[in-house]
Structure 1
Amino acid sequence: MYEEIPRVELTPAAADLIRRLHEAHGPLMFHQSGGCCDGSAPMCYPDGEFRTGDSDVLLADLYVDGIEEPVSFWMSRSQFQAWSHTRLIVDVVEGRGSGFSLEAPEGVRFLIRSRVVGA
């Protein structure tokens, strides 16, 4: 039986950080645009704080152990067109990310790693 490869997944470090951010801020969401950092830095917001629209694509609802509701992962449609052949892996690295993303005060930032999805 064929199982579709998840479009977005989390590293254990990303899942741990999401749990901590959820505890402090409640339900969360991600949005990734083609803006800064060549589009490799997804932004984490309280759920609903970033308004999505027709120019955005919902790629995944991410389920994290210990969190009841999923964390939605959105991407701008134009960025999705460029990355549509990849599986996105949300990871965490040291360093300061965007001041608008919830993890900024933690001294770390979310980062996208990717793998090409087979044709």
Structure 2
Amino acid sequence: MPVPRRVRATAAAMDLLRRLRDAHGPLMLHQSGGCCDGSAPMCYPAGEFIIGDRDVLLGVLDLRLRAGDPSLTLPDPEDAVQVWISGPQFDAWRHTQLVLDAVPGRGAGFSLEAPEGMRFLTRGRVFAPAERSALEASEPTTGAAWEQGHRPTLTATEPQVVAHAIDACPIPGRT
């Protein structure tokens, strides 16, 4: 079984990220385990948030992609959005594929989307047992490994971008 993506995004999230990139330059996201705003995915200019040694890279979103596009290559830096999660939060969510979405509302105070009338929202889908086994065979990239030059190998075949969150997080029992 191919290794599934640890992070995917909706078309709405990708559109918002493109607008933010056009206004602020290259971006990064961090999902922490804090309370209040700290539990929301936070968007920063690339390199503005310091990644910790134990933080885990969930994936790199490619702003060139639209819903359903395949991609097995890392994008150029201006089109790449690294998505990080704190180490303790990753330990709690390692069995879950995170789906970045954008919905109307006020963004978190320090996140770039705050004045946009939209906010990022993390949705999740529990990995199937075979997916969990495939993921366990590959060690995630930590902040310490990234700093030493390690880059993940892209092996996922599922589309990185979905039209709507339900396309990545189907509701059981609904067709």
TM-score scaled by length of structure 1:
0.92
Who wins on radius of gyration, i.e. which is larger? 2
Hey, what does 2:158 align to over in structure 1? none
Superposed CA offset, 1:32-91 (max 9, x none) = 110124965100000000001213111111112177431100100000011110000000
SS at match of 1:17: helix
Report if the CA contact (8 A) 2:105-2:117 is conserved.
Answer: yes
Distance 1:8 1:79 in 2: 14
Residues of 2 paired with 1:89 and 1:38: CA distance?
Answer: 18
**1:80 matched residue in structure 2:** 90
Q: Show structure 2 runs of 5+ residues with no match.
A: 66-74, 130-175
Are residue 63 (structure 1) and residue 62 (structure 2) matched?
yes
Which structure features the higher share of strand residues?
Answer: 1
Q: What code does the residue aligned with 1:90 have?
A: L
**1:24: which partner in 2?**
23
- Pairing partner for 1:90 from 100, 110, 113: 100
Inter-partner Cα distance in structure 1 for 2:48 and 2:7: 21
Q: Answer yes or no: is 1:52 the counterpart of 2:71.
A: no
| Stretches of structure 1 lacking an aligned partner (at least 5 in a row) | none
Structure 1 runs (4+) deviating above 3 angstroms are 37-40
Q: Secondary structure at the match of 2:84?
A: strand
What's the % identity of the aligned pairs?
Answer: 61
- Output the CA distance in 2 between the equivalents of 1:76 and 1:28: 17
Larger relative contact order (CA 8 Å, sep ≥ 6): 2
Is 1:101 aligned to residue 111 of structure 2?
Answer: yes
The answer to whether the Cα contact below 8 Å between 1:40 and 1:112 also exists between their aligned partners in 2 is no
